[in-house]
Amino acid sequence: MRTLKLVLAVAVSLAVAPLATAQETVRIGVVQPMTGPVAYDGNIYVNTVKMLVDDLNAKGGVLGKKIELVIEDGACNPAQSVNAAEKLVVRDKVVGLLGAFCSTSTAAVMEVAKKHKVPLITGISTAAQLTEQGNPYFFRAVATTPMLGNAFGPVLPKALNAKRFAFLTLNDDWGRSMQASYPKAIESGGGQIVANEFFQQSDLQFLSQITKVKAANPDAIVLAANTQQAVALSKQIRELGVTVPLVGEGAWSSDSYIKLAGPAAEGVYGLVEYVYTIKSPINEAFVKEFQAKLKENPSKFAGAAHNVLHIMVDAIGRAGTTDPEKIRAALEKTDYNGLVGNIKFDAKHQAYGQTVYLSLVKNGVPDVVETAKIAKP
């Protein structure tokens, strides 16, 4: 009998607890992969928002209340991400969502946001069609591959002192969209495309593709690869005697790539939305705190987390209420100045105006050598 009472008491207190605190904090839900194929990067994102929320709360939070994060693991899996989002909205009554990582998961979570009328911001998913659906509750605070190409394509020939460009990218949506969108922009800057080659997600070595690209005699090679393949790719390119500059979307300015590729990372250019070497007071403060607390340099996923969290909190502040509908309206009027400069959303809720960076690895450090601005689409 006593145990039964105890169980009942615990159950009641558990059920009541979220309601009891709901009035005292502003809850923001996070759906990110903390397990599965991209767990490493997902965890960086999660640790970053946790650190930043502590800072914001130390400065008084928002609307005079503390911010409370509720974090769920989406595992880069659409079904799991939907369950996580449903739980955050229905049970935890969050006023806004941040996520998800993989574009397929974000597409699934978008439907949950729309159903329950709660705003959702992604800082990572770049699949073009996400903002084409006209979902009023979805916002994307990151440039898509074609936007990045449009911003940097015209600059690349001069920045790399190259005329003949060869493409060697992953054979997926990302790589294909890169090979479809970059060439026009590069040509407008006086460049010329001499090879379009692909590799598969399962490839461990790229000797044939590299030999083929080399035969086209390019002045620069444009790459798209995640860390694993980026390491092998840049090593093998040099081992086959190709010395031209490499420039890539993806892992090319991240600490883990630079550490794993070693000397092969030297002289590699990265096309990125964020790099920790940006020279601005706000970024320098962020990097300093990040290094002190998380013991590494912030990656582009940390940068994304910084952007979306502040954009969400800024909108809540301007809305003056925790009503998700009002927050959504405030998000549309975003005019946020952060790590990567000014960010606004267009009619489709696609971010523009932010700065993107061309980094160059020198002595293991990805220095910014060129910047461009994302034009209003």
Partner 1 sequence: MSATITILAQHLLNGVLIGCAYALIAMGLTMIFGVMNIANFAHGEFYMLGGFVAFYLVSLMGLDYFAALPLAVAIVVALAIVLQHSIFRRLREAPMMTTTLVTIGLSILLENAALLLWGPQPQSIPTPFPTKPLSFFGVYTTPLYLFCMAVTAALIVVGHVLIRRTRMGKAMRATFQNKESAALVGIRIDRIYAYAFAFGAALAAAAGAVLGGFIPVEPATGGIITLKAFVVVILGGMGSFVGAIVGGLLLGLAEALGAGYMPTGWKDAIGFFAVILVLLFRPEGLFKRV
- DSSP 8-state symbol, 37: T
Told to check if 171 binds partner 1 by CB under 8 A, we report yes
* Stretch in the footprint of partner 1 (CB under 8 A) among 42-50, 126-134, 238-246, 355-363: 238-246
Query: How far is it, in rounded angstroms, from Cα 62 to Cα 340?
Result: 23
Candidates 35, 43, 135, 236; binder of partner 1 (CB under 8 A) is 236
Q: Considering beta carbons, is residue 172 or 284 the nearer one to partner 1?
A: 172
How many residues form the binding site for partner 1 (CB under 8 A)?
32
62 dihedral zone (left: phi>0; alpha: psi -120 to 50; beta): beta
Query: How far is it, in rounded angstroms, from Cα 250 to Cα 131?
Result: 21
C-alpha separations of 224 from 174, 251, 257 in Å? 8, 8, 13
Q: What does the angle CA 100 – CA 101 – CA 107 come to, to the nearest 5 degrees?
A: 55
Told to check if 238 binds partner 1 by CB under 8 A, we report yes
Q: Considering beta carbons, is residue 159 or 361 the nearer one to partner 1?
A: 361
Summary count for the chain: helices (H), strands (E) = 13, 15
| Interface positions, 32-71, toward partner 1 (CB under 8 A) | 39-40
Candidates 7, 12, 180, 215; binder of partner 1 (CB under 8 A) is 215
Q: Considering beta carbons, is residue 90 or 207 the nearer one to partner 1?
A: 207
Candidates 81, 125, 131, 227; binder of partner 1 (CB under 8 A) is 227
Q: Considering beta carbons, is residue 38 or 95 the nearer one to partner 1?
A: 38
Told to check if 209 binds partner 1 by CB under 8 A, we report yes
Candidates 116, 164, 212, 318; binder of partner 1 (CB under 8 A) is 212
Q: How far is the CB of 211 from partner 1 (least distance, A)?
A: 5
Residues 6+ positions from 284 with CB-CB distance below 8 Å = none
Residue 365, helix vs strand vs coil: strand
Please give the structure tokens belonging to residue 69: 């994060």
Q: Considering beta carbons, is residue 120 or 260 the nearer one to partner 1?
A: 260
Helix locations, the chain, DSSP H: 2-22, 39-58, 78-86, 103-116, 145-152, 156-159, 173-188, 207-215, 227-239, 255-261, 281-294, 300-319, 324-332
Q: Considering beta carbons, is residue 196 or 371 the nearer one to partner 1?
A: 196
Candidates 82, 97, 231, 308; binder of partner 1 (CB under 8 A) is 231
Told to check if 203 binds partner 1 by CB under 8 A, we report yes
* Interacting residues with partner 1 (CB under 8 A): 39-40, 171, 197-200, 202-205, 207-209, 211-212, 214-215, 227-228, 231-232, 235-236, 238-241, 256, 260, 262-263
